[in-house]
Amino acid sequence: MSTATIRNVLRGDGDRFVYVVSALAALNGLLFGFDTGIISGAFLFIQDSFVMSPLVEGIIVSGAMAGAAAGAAVGGQLADRLGRRRLILIAAIVFFVGSFTMAVAPTVPVLVAGRLIDGVAIGFASIVGPLYISEIAPPHIRGGLTSLNQLMVTTGILLSYFVNYAFADAGAWRWMLGAGMVPAVVLAIGILKMPESPRWLFEHGRKDEARAVLKRTRSSGVDQELDEIEETVETQSETGVRDLLAPWLRPALVVGLGLAVFQQITGINAVIYYAPTILESTGLGSVASILATVGIGTINVVMTVVAIMLVDRVGRRRLLLVGVGGMVATLAILGTVFYLPGLSGGLGIIATISLMLFVSFFAIGLGPVFWLLISEIYPLSVRGSAMGVVTVANWGANLLVSLTFPVLTDGVGTSATFWLFGLCSLVGLLFVYRYVPETKGRTLEAIEDDLRQNISLAD
Ligand code: BGC
């Protein structure tokens, strides 16, 4: 998004309607971030309320990721069948039910059930938020608008850190977890005012409605865009997951799955979910660690804003290359610092700064660009399903890292764990360089056309 666009957003002119709609849809991202971030603080107090085995503790923390993988698994197809808008409404309701269940849970099984339900909503939201925005946005600002969703994910995480902090004194974990009901209600009400995706409408034979939505969300070029959508819809055969295996789609599937896995195995959520623990081990006191965690959350938000301003100007590939390159460098520093003896003092400060830089590099690259690209590189007929498959892979990898991080640091040490993440980032960098296409400023239909003609995606 250019600075002019940002100015338009702030002033409220230009394609104002599309900004409002995208901002509302990005509440999906806020819930996704909030509900994944909140458990880090709430968990400390849940442990005081119930007697639990370590296995049950693990299930409570990672239950949401497992639920999210399940939600993402069916969310893509539901988005194709029911429509984007209806799925957003369902996600908001499920978010509400999950948060409510956790807040009032009298027993551990009910709490776990709430966490799983909440996870399913997170899974729905992680697909349908970026999908809906990318389809309603005009091409020249699509990158920035779709990345609004990631901005809200990071804002949600930061908000959850503050809410944790606010309720920490009282140990009020039920309020922490129940707080997710508020944005769920706002999203449910907001979606009633939002139009359906014009591309989805067109594909379901509702051409007049599609035209009407485009007219409301474009200042010009409506007929041309409708023609392009029509052409794409006409060249499609049956929809379904089987179509994903068509040879001409394989490059896009490789790109999506690769980015999904690299986004997680490079270690971001080891930092997002375990930041206070890592920081304490550098010699910081617990209050300072919590403050530094808020600092990390803030940097995550700020650098995502920077990415949004750059993504439609410098392009997706360049942001990814710089971002992942920076992650390799900062992880190498972290691996070294944690290897050296005497972590407190100067080295502790270097470690804290490196952690912050690591998050910054994630936030200008893999964070937003992954979600953006997977909403751009799949043809309309399989877009929902393809995003579903890729998002499941993302949650699966997330589950793997968040479950194994404590085990890894305990077994091979923090230093080796960071080296391992660094190695994964290096492979990720080569992957981006070799396979990831530039999609900046092109219509979704033009990207699809290239795929059909089997033009190399890395050109
Ligand atoms: C990732 C999440 C992560 C968040 C951090 C998202 O793009 O998918 O797993 O927690 O970024 O900002």
- Please report the pLDDT score of residue 120 as a whole number: 97
Judge whether residue 15 has pLDDT over 80: no
Judge whether residue 455 has pLDDT over 60: no
> Do 292 and 180 share a structural domain?
no
> Do 247 and 167 share a structural domain?
no
Domain of 261 in residue numbering reads as: 238-458
Q: Is the CB of 259 under 6 A from ligand 1?
A: no
- Please report the pLDDT score of residue 14 as a whole number: 42
Percent of the chain with pLDDT over 90: 47
Cα separations in angstroms, 312 against 58, 220, 260, 315: 40, 19, 21, 5
> Do 431 and 361 share a structural domain?
yes
> Do 356 and 267 share a structural domain?
yes
Q: Is the CB of 304 under 6 A from ligand 1?
A: no
Judge whether residue 405 has pLDDT over 90: no
Judge whether residue 364 has pLDDT over 50: yes
Judge whether residue 109 has pLDDT over 90: yes
In a domain, 190, yes or no: yes
Pairwise CA distance, residues 11 & 9, whole Å: 6
Higher pLDDT, 23 or 265: 265
For the segment 162-172, what is each residue's pLDDT rounded down to a tens digit? 898 888 888 89
State the CATH number of the domain containing residue 144.
1.20.1250.20
Q: How confident is the model at residue 6 (pLDDT cuts 50, 70, 90)?
A: very low
> Do 248 and 180 share a structural domain?
no
- Please report the pLDDT score of residue 1 as a whole number: 45
Q: How confident is the model at residue 13 (pLDDT cuts 50, 70, 90)?
A: very low
> Do 164 and 247 share a structural domain?
no
> Do 257 and 155 share a structural domain?
no
In a domain, 206, yes or no: no
In a domain, 1, yes or no: no
> Do 88 and 165 share a structural domain?
yes
Higher pLDDT, 159 or 5: 159
Contacts of 56 (CB under 8 A, 6+ apart): 108, 112
End-of-domain residue from the set 194, 222, 250? 194
Q: Is the CB of 268 under 6 A from ligand 1?
A: yes
Cα(351) to centroid of ligand 1, in Å?
21
End-of-domain residue from the set 169, 194, 219? 194
Q: Is the CB of 29 under 6 A from ligand 1?
A: no
Q: 418, 380, 407, 313: which is closest to 80 by C-alpha?
A: 380
> Do 429 and 288 share a structural domain?
yes
Q: How confident is the model at residue 9 (pLDDT cuts 50, 70, 90)?
A: very low
- Please report the pLDDT score of residue 170 as a whole number: 86
End-of-domain residue from the set 167, 194, 221? 194
Q: How confident is the model at residue 255 (pLDDT cuts 50, 70, 90)?
A: very high
In a domain, 233, yes or no: no
Judge whether residue 321 has pLDDT over 90: yes
Judge whether residue 20 has pLDDT over 90: no
Residue identifier of the C-alpha nearest atom 12 of ligand 1:
154
> Do 263 and 159 share a structural domain?
no
Cα(1) to centroid of ligand 1, in Å?
20
How many residues can be counted in the chain? 459
Mean pLDDT is lowest, of 117-121, 214-218, 363-367, for 214-218
Q: How confident is the model at residue 234 (pLDDT cuts 50, 70, 90)?
A: low
pLDDT (mean) for 124-148: 86
Residue 371, Cα to own-chain centre: how many angstroms? 6
Average pLDDT, the chain: 86
pLDDT (mean) for 218-225: 78
Judge whether residue 393 has pLDDT over 90: yes
- Please report the pLDDT score of residue 240 as a whole number: 57
**Considering the entire predicted model, what is its pTM?**
0.84
Q: Is the CB of 299 under 6 A from ligand 1?
A: no
Q: How confident is the model at residue 11 (pLDDT cuts 50, 70, 90)?
A: very low
> Do 406 and 259 share a structural domain?
yes
In a domain, 219, yes or no: no
- Please report the pLDDT score of residue 282 as a whole number: 81
For the segment 297-313, what is each residue's pLDDT rounded down to a tens digit? 999 999 999 999 999 89
Mean pLDDT is lowest, of 44-48, 88-92, 129-133, for 44-48
For the segment 165-191, what is each residue's pLDDT rounded down to a tens digit? 888 888 899 999 999 999 999 999 999
Instruction: Of 31-45, 193-207, 352-366, give the range with the top mean pLDDT.
Output: 352-366
pLDDT (mean) for 121-146: 87
Cα(233) to centroid of ligand 1, in Å?
32
- Please report the pLDDT score of residue 403 as a whole number: 79
In a domain, 200, yes or no: no
In a domain, 151, yes or no: yes
Q: 301, 27, 31: which is closest to 158 by C-alpha?
A: 301
Query: How many domains does the chain divide into?
Result: 2
- Please report the pLDDT score of residue 181 as a whole number: 96
Higher pLDDT, 115 or 9: 115
In a domain, 404, yes or no: yes
Q: Is the CB of 122 under 6 A from ligand 1?
A: no
> Do 31 and 133 share a structural domain?
yes
Cα(424) to centroid of ligand 1, in Å?
17
